[in-house]
Homo-oligomer: A and B are copies of this chain.
């Protein structure tokens, strides 16, 4: 069975292995495995820290610019791990944990699909081990303490500068823009504010960049809540919130262990946005995967211009993790879409459209090899309708770059369907590799942005609107100039126009807003309007979910 032939069957396999067994196979002693309900566990942080570094390899899975046709980055990561295991490797996945809110909106869960899934899917898609709830609560404690400081006048904070928003793991458009502190003198100071979905909160980004509990504590203390009347930053540390926030996050920081449908280990931990944040699972989980296995497989959000760029430039330069191979996931369908074919016509053979759309794939591949100096492999996630001519078109598009294209059918056949893919990965990993960044941390913030825009997006230039330019200068002057930049733009195009598919050129990237994410350790540069609180659609998918005889149905 390949994708398109049958629907995903949902993550309800016959018999998953006991999670303690999965941990034991990784060599984790039982006393360091904290089981959380059915088939989920956390691995003790102190134990992980005590493990030596080993000569393991990291594979980064990224993709072409996303399309409504679907690429399947998560299924490809899972399929690769299952394939590697069949080749005798000891792979460990490191994946983002899904946000619950969108499950009730339009999208299905984020645990893979077909025979390439992590399990228990329903639980991972809902509360999992409570990490998202803890992150929202730490964020909301900080927000409550900030408003409390305004209410009692205990700290000099200008209410108009309060930057911290509350968070909730729900698609709830009515909370995007709100007025709080109404109801009279006892109800706090009235001001405009809003809620972000938890994945978009600064505490989420901070959590995912932290290397240890102490590092998390330090980072949380740097989060800027607002400014004093004199314009100085007021931080979470100034409010005395840091210890309590760390206490709330203490257990959450230990990475979560689950397994693929084929019983291979997956650390699913942390889930930041890939536009206003860096879009990758926690640094702790990736480092743990590298210590526990011989090949760690991780993924980066959206296309390679966003997720992979941030992996090399932010994670690579500040957390000291570098991939040994980058896999770019594409589908024939998605390339046809980039080539101008309408969604409804994607089933029809159209090699010319594949060729036209493959300029998107090619540019991502060039960036990865030329800017980031990575070995690259293209994985085509197979669908039943794909033809030989179309696949040949994909191969041709990157042949002169020396990049191999492998087909994989993990969706339909699990690890068995990903054997060629896994074999190509093993061969690549046998060769030495390096990874570079698009800019140096010593560059100015503006030059860093320019490097990403001109070298990775291949735009003409970056342009800062006046308010953004002022804020950028202020941050440089306040000593934040050595942070990496985190670009927030549409994921659908290299440019800022979501309709400019393929490989647009000549565009400029206007930066409208600059936000310091001091806890995470980057400066967010926002182009256009980035939605940090999604809404529900007219008919929410929540309407299809039910529990019958104790089993959740309709959550796909």
Contacts and interface: CB of A to CB of B under 8 A. Distances in A.
A140 interface: yes
Nearest to A182: B177
A552 B247 contact: yes
A536 B148 contact: yes
Given A145-B542, A547-B250, A176 B183 contact: yes
B173 A188 contact: yes
Q: 7 closest pairs, A vs B, by CB? A: A243-B546, A177-B183, A133-B133, A174-B188, A240-B543, A244-B542, A177-B182
A144 interface: yes
Contact of A137 (B42, B46, B100, B143): B100
Given A35-B35, A145-B536, A148-B538, 7 more contacts: A37-B251, A127-B134, A147-B172, A148-B540, A151-B173, A174-B181, A178-B178
Contacts of A104: 141, 144, 244
B545 A247 contact: yes
A141 B542 contact: yes
A241 B554 CA distance: 13
15 contacts: A126-B251, A127-B248, A137-B169, A143-B172, A145-B536, A145-B540, A147-B173, A166-B168, A177-B182, A178-B182, A183-B194, A213-B550, A240-B542, A243-B545, A250-B550
A552 B182 CA distance: 35
Interface of A: 34-38, 42, 45-46, 100, 104, 122-123, 126-127, 129-130, 133-134, 137, 140-141, 143-145, 147-148, 151-152, 154, 166, 168-183, 186-189, 192, 194, 213, 217, 240-244, 246-248, 250-251, 535-536, 538-540, 542-547, 550, 552, 554-555
Contacts of A137: 100, 127, 133, 169-170
A242 B543 CA distance: 8
A149 to B, nearest CB: 9
A134 B546 CA distance: 16
A180 B183 contact: no
A493 to B, nearest CB: 22
Given A152-B538, A182-B178, A546-B247, A144 B127 contact: no
A147 B126 contact: no
A43 to B, nearest CB: 12
Contacts of A242: 546
Contacts of A36: 35-37
A212 to B, nearest CB: 10
Nearest to A46: B550
B217 A144 contact: no
Main secondary structure of the interface of A (DSSP, over half): mixed
A550 to B, nearest CB: 6
Nearest to A216: B547
A192 B180 CA distance: 10
Contacts of A246: 546-547
Contact of A174 (B144, B172, B251, B538): B144
Contacts of A539: 154
Contacts of A148: 173-174, 535-536, 538, 540
A546 B42 CA distance: 22
Given A100-B137, A543-B240, A173 B186 contact: yes
Nearest to A188: B174
Contacts of A126: 247-248, 251
A189 B168 contact: no
Contacts of A172: 140, 143-144, 147
B547 A243 contact: yes
A289 to B, nearest CB: 21
A127 B518 CA distance: 26
Given A151-B173, A187-B176, A241 B145 contact: no
Nearest to A168: B140
Contacts of A174: 144, 147-148, 151, 180-181, 187-189
B181 A179 contact: no
A223 to B, nearest CB: 15
A254 to B, nearest CB: 9
A192 B174 CA distance: 11
A513 to B, nearest CB: 16
Contacts of A180: 174-175, 178
A140 B170 contact: yes
A311 to B, nearest CB: 29
Given A169-B137, A172-B144, A34 B42 contact: no
Contacts of A244: 104, 542-543, 545-546
Nearest to A20: B35
A44 to B, nearest CB: 10
B168 A177 contact: no
A12 B268 CA distance: 30
A231 B175 CA distance: 26
A83 B122 CA distance: 42
A29 to B, nearest CB: 15
B170 A187 contact: no
B181 A187 contact: no
Contacts of A178: 178-182
A251 to B, nearest CB: 6
